[in-house]
Structure 1
Amino acid sequence: MRKHQHYKGAEVSCCVKYFLFGFNIIFWLLGAAFLAIGLWAWAEKGVLSNLSSITDLGGFDPVWLFIVVGGVMFILGFAGCIGALRENTFLLKFFSVFLGLIFFLELTAGILAFVFKDWIKDQLNFFIYNNVKAYRDDIDLQNLIDFAQEYWLCCGAHGPDDWNQNIYFNCTKLNPSRERCGVPFSCCIKDPSGVLNTQCGYDVRLEAELDRQDYIYTKGCVGQFEKWLQDNLIVVAGIFVGIALLQIFGICLAQNLVSDIQSGQSQLVTLQRADSAE
């Protein structure tokens, strides 16, 4: 009478397994936080009750960035967590393949951005012009533009006159807005006392160009952004390299764990066949 045997394949590395699990749990939680913030902001703005606003592509909505990035991070982090914990090769392969695809897309985008930098600059100008037009249409977009202008000490895409594209700030005689011929307060040079005057940009574009320099920033955000990139090239490159290394590290961990699992399964099948042949 044959005795029942307990088969045990090659051991899966606990260090790799739980390190990958920890790596992905952080990834997953960050994705969940981004997704929750995006959905909350989306709901707060009434988009869910007004589906027609979804098709409004006049300006960039920062909420979509949170939703898309958060959604991708949540799905990949979840797949990596469960795949590592349950030793599920399908989920681990899904995680590593899609993380590799994202890495490849990032690398391709970086190369294309370098090769077609003039085209990218034109698209950036077009992007900023569109968002200048939509400045008052979305509170998140408004806050993003205000932050950019305050951080880079700039006004408009190429200068303050770009705000003539916005219906609230244009200088046409038929414009009833009190902000006519003005600029947003974020274009204003900060008061040394730290007092915020939200009306500091009123009528400022009626002044001569030299006189404006006493009240507002006169450099465009495109030029200021390019200057900031050049001044902080090492930091920006370091961030991108760090993100790329983390992605490569995650892919290597997942593939190593998949190899361990498949090796153990293969040895188990071999032992079972050898036993059945006896």
Structure 2
Amino acid sequence: METHGRKTNTCGIICLKYLLFLFNIFFWLAGGAVLAVGVWTLVEKSDYISLLNSSFYSASAYILISAGVIVIVTGIIGCCATLKEMRSLLVMYLFLLLCVFLLEIVAGVLAYINYQGCFPFCYQLDEELRQNLKETMQQKYQQPGEESITQAVDKLQQEFKCCGSHNYSDWTDSLWIQEAKNSRLVPDSCCKTPSELCGSRNHPSNIYRVEGGCITKLEDFIQSQLYILGAVGVGIAFLQLVGMMFTCCLYRNLKKDPY
């Protein structure tokens, strides 16, 4: 009878170990995905972040990178604790899972409260970002020492098929457009088919006249990224609950087993 109980307990521990190990693989992959999104945001979209003249988006990218690293480290500790059946590591692993989970909950609640209670301040912040983008385009485009801004603006207008911050008429007040030697009405990157001096004609058949301009397109892009990140966060939170349950079960069985 004792031998049978001992075998049952051993089989249960083996099953829990495999389940927890499988969970850690998924958890590790999720952390890698979050890390990759953060790095991708800094590398590929850093130009757009600089145009917004706000540290919020770059800070978000660094937070993603930090979160990804923490999740990966937590997953590695979980794998080691599972394979070696070390209760001390399991406790550390469970503590890290709980901390990350609580941080996610707190961040989600704060984001929800700030979003719901920001009116009319959220509108003012939105207008401030719009004004910053407009001023950056008008005052820094094609100016000495602002080559990175110029490239970012051209990339933004071509990738999102837009012209100007609010609309194409924003370029009328541009320092570069107002230069005597400049015959363009808008930058060549506003053209549907970019070519040298194509910005000399601002007819709708030649340039992009998107309602709301580039800032609307950029905001839509950021919004879609936030939705994706939110979905990923919910998925990771669910994985963490499952992982904590498996960890508690394994820890309890290891404690009961004298061998």
Q: Same fold (TM over 0.5)?
A: yes
Provide the residue aligned with 1:90 in structure 2. Answer: 95
User: Residues 117-156 of structure 1: matches in 2 within 5 Å?
Assistant: 118-132=123-137, 133-136=139-142, 137-139=146-148, 141-156=149-164
Choose between structure 1 and 2 for higher RCO, CA contacts under 8 A separated by at least 6 residues. 1
Aligned residue among 180, 186, 190 for 1:187: 190
Aligned residue among 16, 29, 45 for 1:25: 29
AA in 1 matched with 2:239: L
1:251 has 2:254 as partner = no
Provide the residue aligned with 1:261 in structure 2. Answer: 247
CA positional deviation for 1:182:
3.4
Aligned residue among 63, 73, 83 for 1:79: 73
Deviations 1:212-264 (A, max 9, x none): 445434455448837x96xx9xxx77x76664343223212223322332344
Partners of 1:135 and 1:60 lie apart in 2 by 18
Aligned residue among 175, 194, 197 for 1:167: 175
Partners of 1:246 and 1:123 lie apart in 2 by 29
Partners of 2:195 and 2:173 lie apart in 1 by 23
CA positional deviation for 1:33:
7.4
Provide the residue aligned with 1:48 in structure 2. Answer: none
CA positional deviation for 1:104:
3.5
CA positional deviation for 1:108:
4.2
Provide the residue aligned with 2:87 in structure 1. Answer: none
Equivalent pairs counted in the alignment come to: 231
Conservation of the 8 A alpha-carbon contact between 1:24 and 1:78: yes
Partners of 2:188 and 2:52 lie apart in 1 by 22
Provide the residue aligned with 2:207 in structure 1. Answer: 216
* SS of the residue 1:186 aligns to: helix
Cα distance change on mapping 1:162 and 1:185 into 2, 3 Å: same
Partners of 1:155 and 1:213 lie apart in 2 by 11
* SS of the residue 2:199 aligns to: coil
Cα distance change on mapping 1:150 and 1:73 into 2, 3 Å: same
- Using the aligned pairs only, state the percent identity: 14
Cα distance change on mapping 1:144 and 1:109 into 2, 3 Å: farther
| Structure showing the higher helix proportion among its residues | 2
Provide the residue aligned with 1:99 in structure 2. Answer: 104
* SS of the residue 2:69 aligns to: helix
Deviations 1:97-121 (A, max 9, x none): 3333443455445535787563354
CA positional deviation for 1:197:
0.6
User: Residues 62-73 of structure 1: matches in 2 within 5 Å?
Assistant: 64=58, 68=62, 71-73=65-67
Partners of 2:42 and 2:214 lie apart in 1 by 30
Provide the residue aligned with 2:88 in structure 1. Answer: none
Conservation of the 8 A alpha-carbon contact between 1:156 and 1:221: no
1:158 has 2:161 as partner = no
Partners of 2:106 and 2:253 lie apart in 1 by 31
Q: Which runs of 5+ in 1 are unaligned?
A: 46-55, 205-210, 273-278
TM-score normalised by length of structure 1: 0.58
Aligned residue among 194, 197, 206 for 2:195: 197
